[in-house]
A and B are shown apart, each in its own frame.
Chain A
Amino acid sequence: MNGMAQEKIIFTGPVGAGKTSAIAAISDVPPVRTDVACRGEERAIKDTTTVAMDYSYIQLDDGRRVHLYGTPGQARFDFMWELLTRNGLGLVLLINNDHPEPLRQLDFYLDAFADFIRQTGVVIGVTRMGIADRARLDDYQARLFERGQVYPVFEIDGRSGDDVRILVQALLAVLTI
């Protein structure tokens, strides 16, 4: 199997949405991380942040692997978004509801990954719900409706394997129908 035929699912979303944890929750081996200490404003959200990618995989019973890649969250790393999504199977978008404007973040990432989503599919997981109820799941549905997009959206705990599996399950439903 050569590198071109690599099958991969990409996890993206803003800083602190739980991309690294979500990958760790369902992968076979602990993810390779490129996280470094945060400074400035990002420091207030978390201590470390991914600068290149998180990587892990799930081995299938026929020996093939589905690779899981996590992107950096900040827009200054958008060159990695393009690199990592190339030939990907689909996108898992995690949005941190404990952000001042989570719906703006939803718009931003859906727009930034619009081409990739058009080619494949997306599922949205809203994390850290309940810590601050700035937006409810209804609000995410309404925003997607406004955008003319019917995408799967779930409230999840990104550290829970069961919750992340639900996201993947919905993504697979979207990709195979």
Chain B
Amino acid sequence: MSNEAELRISPVGLDATGHKVLQVVLALLGDEDGIRCALLDADDASGHLVIVDMDSQQGRSVFPGLSSGQVKLLLGGPPASGRNIVSLAKPVHVNALRDMLLKICRRMQVQLDASLHDLKAPAAAPMPATDDTAPAAAPDLLTILSNARREGSVLALAIDGDELVLVNGATRAFAALREGAEERLFAVGPEQLACRQIDEADFESRTHGRTLGALDNLLWQCAVHAEPDRLPAGIGDETPVRLKAWPNFTRQGFRNDYFRIAAALARQPASCAQLVETTGLDRRSVVGFITACNAVGLLVALPPEGADPEKVTPLHKAATPERRGLLARLAQRLGLAQA
């Protein structure tokens, strides 16, 4: 990942065994989890993460002087708590230390990489407002909804003066005023679509007693329905993208092709072109998936080196060919489509 900084670790007061365990764990983190850390000298307590043996004289004397910004992992000693402090009981085993460091590194990486808030923040790249050849054309539904989500605006959407759907970008909710209203919106072209700003009180009173849906659901369905043949602005065919979270597929939105693309992206960031290759699906599916994920803020576009497999953390190993055969039969047996 582009801004992934190397994590520096200070070992303080560790005995020979402690050092050995730590070195094994760091090797495992590097080889199997793809997390590279730099181990500082024993007397250098300046690391991002300081591992302190609280049963040692050195550990106890250094600990109070550490900065509150440093993450402290305490081994042994009495249970301690506080900001940026975690402790691990002795004896410290490789697996326990590895799991703990994995969690800490991920958390720290998350801090560097993107905040939790960012997960729910709007997509980085705005939707293409218009087609290049028709600069004056009206914005399409996907653009209107994406803008409402990003700007937090409240809108009424109508066809031929008949208001069908109310959208609240601030609360990320929408309400259909008629049965099948969403489908009617999806079906018409931008020129037939009208939208006007309404105020929140208006939205409240007109949706009172109606079922509110999640705006992201509407956006997702809209993006899927639009079957775009062009990627969103800011994402090229070769731009690696990272999936922040597995999309919230609604019941009507379960699609095996999307499962496969999501599974590929969950494994490692990839570009549209790479996804077409690894999944064997047609480009239209991949573009649709990227558009939908981008619309609901689940994608991060990375600089080209972001897709370097060396730099990502594979979450699990690939199945053997024999297992693939068995899994394909299982899918068939359960009546599941397998492309």
B-contacting residues of A (Cβ < 8 Å)?
Answer: 7, 26, 58-62, 64, 66, 89, 111, 114-115, 117-122, 137-138, 141-142, 144-154, 165-166, 168-170, 172-177
B67 part of interface (Cβ distance < 8 Å): no
Least distance between A86 CB and chain B CB atoms (Å): 15
B212 part of interface (Cβ distance < 8 Å): no
Q: Which of B171-221 contact A (CB under 8 A)?
A: none
B48 part of interface (Cβ distance < 8 Å): no
Tell which of A119, A122, A147 touches B106, judged by Cβ atoms closer than 8 Å: A147
The answer to whether B316 and A170 have CB atoms under 8 Å apart is: no
Tell which of A26, A121, A148, A169 touches B316, judged by Cβ atoms closer than 8 Å: A121
The answer to whether B116 and A60 have CB atoms under 8 Å apart is: no
Interface size range of chain B in the complex = 35 or more
B61 part of interface (Cβ distance < 8 Å): no
Q: How far is the CA of A61 from the CA of B332 in the complex (A)?
A: 9
Among B110, B248, B263, residue most surrounded by chain A Cβ atoms (within 10 Å): B263
* B contact residues around A142 at 8 Å (CB): 116, 119-120, 245
Q: How far is the CA of A26 from the CA of B330 in the complex (A)?
A: 12
The answer to whether A62 and B329 have CB atoms under 8 Å apart is: yes
Tell which of A26, A66, A145 touches B119, judged by Cβ atoms closer than 8 Å: A145
* A contact residues around B243 at 8 Å (CB): 150
Report if A66-B106 is in contact (Cβ < 8 Å); known contacts: A26-B334, A173-B260: no
Among B32, B107, B328, B331, residue most surrounded by chain A Cβ atoms (within 10 Å): B331
Q: Which of B271-320 contact A (CB under 8 A)?
A: 278-279, 313, 315-319
The answer to whether B254 and A147 have CB atoms under 8 Å apart is: no
Report if A174-B316 is in contact (Cβ < 8 Å); known contacts: A142-B245, A153-B246: yes
The answer to whether B330 and A58 have CB atoms under 8 Å apart is: yes
* B contact residues around A177 at 8 Å (CB): 260, 263-264, 267, 278-279, 318
The answer to whether A165 and B334 have CB atoms under 8 Å apart is: yes
B244 part of interface (Cβ distance < 8 Å): yes
Least distance between B12 CB and chain A CB atoms (Å): 26
Q: How far is the CA of A176 from the CA of B321 in the complex (A)?
A: 9
The answer to whether A145 and B316 have CB atoms under 8 Å apart is: no
CB-CB nearest 3 A-B residue pairs: A148-B106, A150-B266, A141-B245
* A contact residues around B110 at 8 Å (CB): 145-146, 148
Least distance between A63 CB and chain B CB atoms (Å): 10
* B contact residues around A175 at 8 Å (CB): 319, 323, 327
* B contact residues around A64 at 8 Å (CB): 326, 329
Report if A166-B254 is in contact (Cβ < 8 Å); known contacts: A118-B315, A173-B262: yes
B225 part of interface (Cβ distance < 8 Å): no
| Contact sample, A vs B, 19 pairs, CB 8 Å cutoff | A7-B326, A59-B333, A61-B329, A64-B329, A66-B330, A111-B99, A115-B95, A121-B316, A122-B316, A144-B246, A149-B315, A150-B246, A165-B336, A170-B259, A173-B256, A173-B260, A173-B262, A174-B266, A175-B323
